[in-house]
Amino acid sequence: MKKILSLIFILILLSLPIRSYAHTDPGATNSAKVEYVLPYPGILPGSTLYPLKALRDRIIEFFISDPGKKAEFYILQADKRLNASLALLEQGKGELSETTVSKAEKYLEKALSETEKFKDKGQNVYWILGNIEKSLRKHHEVLDELIEKSEGDLAEKYSNTLEHNEKLLDRVIKLRATE
């Protein structure tokens, strides 16, 4: 009887899925690609229709009053601009690409500021900070690519934007630690 129960117990253990919960250091950087999909940018800066798109985005931003939703909106705008800057660099519009990616980081800074406001209201912002952190890490990865694809003054400007990105990431990590 003991052999049968032991055999059943072993079969049950073998049929259960095995899971591993590894703890990773949020400050550690790895060479693996960040699994984060950038949204389609739509109309690119420099297009004749781009001012209409920018106006539409400002109107939408104006009507969002919730700091959490506004932070998510800013993350979306930052990610669209980042993807647009990649497309612009591929089209040979390096300077426009750099100003676009610089504005993307400013949107992430706005998202972080809105999140801090949300936190000051006593709300749980851990999920927003997680989204900002993922976005910042993807931005870091893409900025590295942009630096590799460019040279001279343009590469230096991308490097400055990368430094700004790293400062924002440090702020997010500190905020997540207090959450």
The rounded distance, in Å, linking the Cα atoms of 177 and 119 is 13
Query: How many angstroms separate the CA atoms of 158 and 70, rounded?
Result: 26
How much is the pLDDT for 27? Answer: 47
Q: What pTM was estimated for this model as a whole?
A: 0.79
DSSP string for residues in 73-142: HHHHHHHHHHHHHHHHHHTT-HHHHHHHHHHHHHHHHHHHHHHHHHHHTT---HHHHHHHHHHHHHHHHH
pLDDT of residue 111: 95
Structure confidence by residue, pLDDT tens digits, 82-130: 999 999 999 999 999 999 999 999 999 999 999 988 888 888 888 999 9
Q: What is the Cα–Cα distance from 86 to 99, expressed in whole angstroms?
A: 12
| Residue 124, pLDDT score | 86
- Which residue ranges in the chain fall short of pLDDT 70? 5-7, 9-31, 179
Rounded distance between C-alpha atoms, residue 94 and residue 170, angstroms: 28
Residue 52's contacts (CB-CB under 8 Å, 6 or more residues apart) are none
- The whole-number pLDDT of residue 125 equals 86
In the numeric block, the tokens 């969002």 are attached to 64
How confident is the model at residue 5, as a pLDDT? Answer: 67
pLDDT at site 122: 85
pLDDT for res 162 = 94
